[in-house]
Amino acid sequence: MSVDDYSLFRVNPLKFGIEINISEQEAIDLFLYGVKIGLFEMNWHLICPLCGDVVVSFTTLRSVDSHFHCDLCRRDFEATLDDFIEVSFTITPTIRHIVFHDPDSLPIEDYFLKLFTKGATFPDGTKSVDLLQKLTKVLTYLEPNQRKEYELKIPPGFLVGFDRLNHAELFFNISGEAETR
C-alpha cells in the first residue's frame, strides 16, 4: 500500500484511530511508540481558535508563549494548552522523505493551502482550506526587490495581503464603483 505525502504529514492520531477502528489510547500509544523507534517526529502546534490555522510549530513545549497573534484573523489570543495546542506526527525523513520536510521547495499553493491548514476548520465546520481557496485572488512568491503586477476585479470591502514567512500584513479598504477601461 502506498500513501501520498500529505497523508504522512501532521497526522492526527485520534483521527487515525477512528479511521482504522482502534481506541484513542491505542492510537496515541501507537504514534508515541513510533516516535520512540524513529518512525515519526512529534510536533506541537499552536492553533488559532477562530480559523484553525497553525500559528506556530515547535518541537518542545518550552517554546510556547502565553500570547500569540494569528495573521489570518488579525487577532491576539491567550494560549491555553487544553484548547489551542495540537500534537501531530510526521513520518521521519529517514523512513520516507516527503515534500513537506522541505517547505521552502513547495509550490506556493501547497505552502499556503496545505502546510498550515491541514485539518483546520472554523467553528461552523467550514474547512479552512476551502474558505482560503475561495477568498484567495493571487498566490505568488516574491524575491527581494521583485515586483509583480496583477489586474483584479475586487468588490468593495477589504483586500488583505500577507507574508507567512515574515508575518507581514497589508490591508486595503476597497470602496467606490468599479473603474472601466
In this predicted model, what pLDDT tens digit does every residue of 145-164 receive, in sequence order?
A: 999 888 888 888 878 777 76
Q: Which cell numbers hold the place of 48?
A: 488559532
pLDDT of residue 179: 63
- Give dist(CA 15, CA 67) in Å, integer: 28
Q: Are 123 and 47 in contact (CB under 8 A)?
A: no
Return d(Cα 120, Cα 153) in angstroms, integer.
29
Q: Beta strands of the chain (E only): which ranges?
A: 40-47, 54-58, 67-70, 75-78, 85-91, 157-163, 168-174
3-state secondary structure of 167: coil
Residue-wise pLDDT for 101-160, tens only, equals 998 888 888 888 888 777 777 778 888 788 888 888 888 888 889 998 888 888 888 787
Residue 36 scores a pLDDT above 90: yes
Which residue carries 468588490 as its cell? 155
Greater model confidence, 20 or 81: 20
State the alpha helices, DSSP H only, in 91-159. Answer: 108-113, 128-135
Position 99 pLDDT exceeds 60: yes
170 versus 40: which is more confidently predicted?
A: 40
Q: How confident is the model at residue 181 (pLDDT cuts 50, 70, 90)?
A: low
Neighbours of 128 (CB within 10 A): 22
Which residue carries 521552502 as its cell?
A: 104
Amino acid at 86: E
Across 40-46, average pLDDT: 89
pLDDT at 16: 93
**What is the rounded distance in angstroms from the CA atom of residue 20 to the CA atom of residue 7?**
14
Task: Tell me if residue 66 falls in helix, strand or coil.
Answer: coil
Q: pLDDT at position 47, please?
A: 81
Q: Beta strand 40-47 with 157-163: parallel, antiparallel or unpaired?
A: unpaired
**Cβ-proximal residues to 171 (8 Å cutoff; 6+ apart), any chain:** 158, 159, 160, 161
